[in-house]
């Protein structure tokens, strides 16, 4: 009989994590959220500190009954939902719905689904972080209040079926304001003048752009003014007043966050944001790799941090030195400025094992999985 129960969100993770942990552990999935606000009413007590009124999501009763049976058999329960606000809230809802005893319940998180990461998380369990839970509840309550209050007005005044949202309504306002600015713009005529100058002793012509006079920049607003400038320049003598030599150093790009991965995948691979997230989820949850079994090949996909763990950074340095030489190592560590609004709870999106080069595991990945993994 399994002594320990590990509850994750996605069924796709169950097989992989169970293989890492062995016979003493039972691994089960909650299949996402188990409780939420009711669909038929606002579900928020406005008179009592905006207290949310949660109910069991339709169809999740059987799943909770199944989990309760497993909880009774286990000596300890580990809540291993995703390492973000949403995952923290799911763990809290599970602890409430399953009436878990605090003495036998712990919260664990891992940023990547690898054997070391999962086992390390079990060595460092913690309590549920209620600050993260409250942050998720505040977001959910605001979503509900805005949607329930404004959507019916849109149905009456504009068109049935439209929805309002805490984020989408503000974004729509910004788009409309920008569109009004574009429509109000009055175009002005302007001309540019480029000339090809013959340099004594040189075969190649020198291209120059007209800027103005020594007094400052001069804008050319019409053909008549252009002809006047050309007349003034016709018999003039030209000389190079100053030469500036400069060098530019191109730094390696920062690791991907969720938003930058979506942008780059759209630009390079022509993937929609939904497709990018779906494939990234598959790479995170685990794919069958020959000689490694089922393993997650990228770190957690929902992040706004560009931070890389010390262990991963050291692994990358060793790989570069071994395969390319010391001269290709960066002289200084690339540092990133922390911004106040960034959640730095977990790393940037990166490969979990730098030795698993895309070409090596190409045959074990689908075409789209390979293309996204290669991009990361």
**Same domain for 286 and 321?**
yes
Residue 144 lies in a domain: no
263, with CB counted inside 10 A (0-12, 13-18, 19+), is middle
**Same domain for 306 and 360?**
yes
HSE-CB at 357 with a 13 A cutoff on CA atoms is 5
Examine the residue annotation and report whether 300 is marked as an active-site residue of this protein.
yes
Residue 318 lies in a domain: yes
Residue 309: CB atoms within 10 A of its CB come to 16
All residues at 6 or more sequence positions from 84 whose CB lies less than 8 Å from its CB, including other chains: 132, 300, 302, 343, 345, 346
What gap in Å lies between CA 271 and CA 277, rounded to an integer? 10
Place of tokens 């409780």: 35
Q: What is the pLDDT of residues 42-54, one digit of tens each?
A: 999 988 889 999 9
pLDDT for position 322: 87
Q: Are 34 and 57 in contact (CB under 8 A)?
A: yes
25, 78, 300, 373: the active-site residue: 300
Given a cut of 90, is residue 2 above it in pLDDT?
no
Given a cut of 80, is residue 333 above it in pLDDT?
no
Q: Domain limits at 218?
A: 194-233
Tell me which of 27-31, 148-152, 219-223, 326-330 is least confident: 326-330
**Same domain for 279 and 315?**
yes
Task: Note the maximum CA span of the chain.
Answer: 98
Number of domains in the chain: 3
Q: What is the mean pLDDT of the chain?
A: 89
- The candidate with the shortest Cα–Cα distance to 298, out of 270, 323, 265, is 265
Residue 250 lies in a domain: no
Structure tokens at 194: 């480029």
Name the pLDDT band for 277 (thresholds 50, 70, 90).
very high
Residue 243 lies in a domain: no
What gap in Å lies between CA 340 and CA 327, rounded to an integer? 35
pLDDT for position 27: 93
Given a cut of 90, is residue 98 above it in pLDDT?
yes
What gap in Å lies between CA 167 and CA 2, rounded to an integer? 44
**Residue 62, domain CATH:** 3.40.50.140
**Same domain for 200 and 311?**
no
**Same domain for 11 and 128?**
yes
Residue 39 lies in a domain: yes
What gap in Å lies between CA 354 and CA 304, rounded to an integer? 21
Share of the chain above pLDDT 90, in %: 48
Residue 330: CB atoms within 10 A of its CB come to 10
Residue 172 lies in a domain: no
Taking each continuous run of H as one helix and of E as one strand, the counts in the chain are 12, 14
Name the pLDDT band for 28 (thresholds 50, 70, 90).
very high
pLDDT for position 279: 95
Name the pLDDT band for 345 (thresholds 50, 70, 90).
low
Q: What's phi and psi for 80, nearest 5 deg?
A: -115, 45
């Amino acid at each position: 009989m399994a002594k320990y129960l590990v509850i994750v969100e996605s069924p796709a993770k169950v097989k992989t994590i169970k293989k890492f942990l062995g016979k003493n552990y039972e691994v089960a999935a909650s299949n996402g959220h188990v409780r939420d606000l009711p669909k038929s009413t606002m579900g928020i007590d406005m008179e009592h500190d905006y207290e949310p009124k949660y109910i069991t999501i339709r169809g999740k009763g059987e799943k909770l009954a199944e989990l309760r049976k497993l909880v009774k058999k286990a000596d300890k329960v580990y809540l291993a939902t995703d390492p973000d606000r949403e995952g923290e809230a799911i763990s809290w809802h599970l602890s409430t719905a399953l009436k878990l005893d605090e003495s036998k319940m712990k919260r664990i998180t891992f940023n990547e689904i690898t054997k070391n990461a999962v086992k390390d998380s079990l060595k460092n369990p913690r309590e549920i972080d209620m600050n993260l839970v409250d942050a998720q509840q505040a977001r959910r309550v605001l979503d509900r209040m805005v949607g329930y209050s404004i959507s019916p007005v849109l149905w009456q005044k504009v068109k049935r079926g439209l929805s309002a949202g805490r984020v989408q309504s503000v974004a729509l306002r910004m788009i409309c304001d920008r569109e009004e600015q574009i429509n109000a713009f009055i175009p002005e005529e302007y001309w540019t003048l480029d000339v090809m100058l013959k340099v004594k002793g040189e075969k190649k012509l020198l291209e120059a752009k007209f800027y103005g006079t020594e007094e400052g920049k001069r804008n050319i607003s019409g053909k008549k003014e252009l002809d006047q400038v050309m007349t003034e320049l016709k018999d003039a003598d030209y000389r190079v007043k100053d030469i500036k030599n400069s060098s530019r150093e191109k730094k390696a790009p920062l690791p991907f966050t969720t938003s930058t991965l979506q942008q780059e995948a759209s630009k390079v691979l022509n993937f929609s944001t939904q497709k990018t997230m779906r494939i990234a989820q598959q790479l995170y949850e685990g794919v069958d790799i020959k000689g490694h079994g089922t393993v997650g090949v990228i770190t957690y996909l929902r992040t706004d941090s560009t931070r890389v763990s010390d262990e991963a950074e050291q692994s990358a340095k060793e790989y570069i030195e071994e395969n390319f030489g010391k001269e290709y190592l960066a002289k200084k560590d690339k540092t990133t400025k922390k911004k106040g609004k960034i959640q730095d709870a977990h790393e940037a999106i990166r490969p979990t094992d730098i030795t698993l080069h895309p070409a090596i595991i190409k045959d074990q990945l689908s075409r789209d999985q390979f293309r996204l993994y290669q991009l990361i």
